[in-house]
A and B are shown apart, each in its own frame.
Chain A
């Protein structure tokens, strides 16, 4: 029997777009309605299928270079080329490593880096700026082909022991695939003049890098919880503290998703 209830609301419910009250109402209805519960399962099947690799079309490297070169010409005040029907011949972009990193980094990625005393417990503004730049640069670099991880695994029990003997602390590693943030690997990195470890998570097509390091200072500024949030070069960066560790997550994922990620990371 087809259910006569409002199917549009079922979609909104499925997409998490309803307020709590209406959401609960639908949840209750679905329990007793086989038609709507079948619809929901089919929507889930469709969603899973749509997230198969191969459907999302990433920008080719050549396009990034074209766009950068076109931007350089445009802002240089040269005559504007209508790059409409055919690509205009471009002179090669000047070598600017930072920009190239940026170009590579347009995908969505979360990377976790774990390090040992990256920075003094209290940073002044300038140090904080430099630190932020270093983190973002490391994130961008990690997105270049072949740089994302040294150990590729979705298993926290593979990734965590991998760091043994490579660092003088053991970073907390947890997979959060069930919450939509699968662990994809880890790597050693170098930040703040020392070796650090990086954990790499994924959110849909986006990558999240998280840097973690033990922070021994007992200063008030190092109380547990949220420390700061910044946006640099279009990347969201959030720093927090849990237990003895400081964490920095950086990603081009939207701020809400990143906050959700961090709430999950902060759970005991």
Chain B
């Protein structure tokens, strides 16, 4: 079989792609959940990256690779778990006026653990989840997130605000349930 024009040499692959493998895997894990599926998605994405490395010019290699990982993960989800993508996105921010007090804040800070956080993230619609992951776990700037998700910066900002708000609500709900359970037992 002939090599496609523009296909990467292995050396380019190692230079451009491999340094960002953790970032690629982290994003894939949070998008498709199952570790084996995430590995398959990353491997496929790396092969795609290698084929299309001609499309990468000096610039942000991480954002470029993450965009490919994201597209690959979405293709995977469409094929295998279409329900995960059919959630409604409510982009509007709800102004809360119901007893928002510093007590809630203190409670929130005290009892959040990583398992609870993981469960809450799992419940977020995929688009909100990925924007939170890219910002908070990967530390990307809005501009980079816009590049990865192929959306305008304004949408990054609104999705992030909404995602954080939903995450906070889910955490508070989970915590109040946890507290009740604790009292009963």
**Residues of the B chain whose Cβ atoms lie less than 8 Å from the Cβ of A234:** 15-16, 18-20, 61
Q: Are A103 and B21 touching (Cβ within 8 A)?
A: yes
Instruction: Contact check, B46 vs A70: say whether CB atoms are below 8 A apart.
Output: yes
Q: Within the complex, which residue of B60, B105, B137 is in contact with A50, where a contact is CB–CB below 8 Å?
A: B137
- What's the least CB distance linking B97 to chain A, in Å? 5
CB of B84 within 8 A of chain A? no
Closest B residue to A55 by beta carbon equals B114
B157 adjacent to A7 (CB under 8 Å): no
In the assembled complex, which residues on chain A have CB atoms less than 8 Å from the CB atom of B112? 45, 49
Given contacts A72-B10, A106-B21, contact A59 B42 (CB under 8 A): yes
A205 and B61 within 8 A (CB): no
What is the interface residue range for chain A against chain B? 35 or more
Cα A233 to Cα B116 in complex, Å, equals 38
The answer to whether A50 and B132 touch across the interface, beta carbons within 8 angstroms, is yes
Against A, the Cβ 8 Å flags (1 = close, 0 = not) of B15-57 are 1111111111110011000010011101110110011000000
Instruction: Check if B19 sits within 8 Å of A57, measured CB to CB.
Output: no
Residues of A within 8 A of B171 (CB): 46
* A60 at interface by CB-CB < 8 Å: yes
Q: Check if A71 sits within 8 Å of B10, measured CB to CB.
A: yes
- Flag if B114 contacts A52 (CB, 8 Å): yes
Contact, CB under 8 Å: B20 / A84? no
Question: When the two chains form the complex, which single residue of A56, A60, A204 contacts B39, counting CB atoms closer than 8 Å?
Answer: A60
Q: Which of B106-150 contact A (CB under 8 A)?
A: 108-109, 112-114, 117-118, 132, 135-137, 139, 141-142
Of B10, B20, B108, chain A has the most CB atoms within 10 Å of the CB of B10
- Which of A49-76 touch B at CB < 8 Å? 49-60, 62-64, 66-68, 70-72, 74-75
Min Cβ gap B131→A in Å is: 11
Chain A residues within 8 Å of B161, by CB: 7-8, 11
Given contacts A46-B164, A57-B25, contact A75 B13 (CB under 8 A): yes
Decide yes or no whether A118 CB sits under 8 A from chain B.
no
Nearest CB in chain A to that of B39: its residue: A63
CA separation between A107 and B25, bound complex, in Å?
11
Query: Shortest CB–CB separation between residue A129 and chain B, in angstroms?
Result: 15
Q: Determine if B167 is an interface residue (Cβ-Cβ < 8 Å).
A: yes
Query: In the complex the two chains form, what is the Cα distance from A62 to B16 in whole Å?
Result: 19
In the complex, whether A99 has a CB less than 8 A from a CB of chain B is yes
Cβ of B22 and Cβ of A85 under 8 Å apart? no
Report Cα–Cα, A85/B32, bound state, in Å.
13
C-alpha gap A85/B50 in the complex (Å): 19
A41 within 8 A of B: yes
Contact B42 A41 (CB under 8 A): no
Q: Which residues of A contact B102 (CB under 8 A)?
A: 38
CB distance from A128 to the nearest CB of B (A): 19
Instruction: List 13 other contacts, CB 8 Å, given A46-B136, A70-B47, A75-B8.
Output: A11-B160, A43-B164, A46-B171, A51-B136, A56-B26, A57-B30, A58-B22, A68-B18, A75-B9, A87-B43, A102-B14, A234-B16, A257-B139
B residues sitting closer than 8 Å to A (CB atoms) are: 1-3, 7-10, 13-26, 29-30, 35, 38-40, 42-44, 46-47, 50-51, 60-62, 93, 95-97, 100, 102, 105, 108-109, 112-114, 117-118, 132, 135-137, 139, 141-142, 157-158, 160-161, 164, 167-168, 171
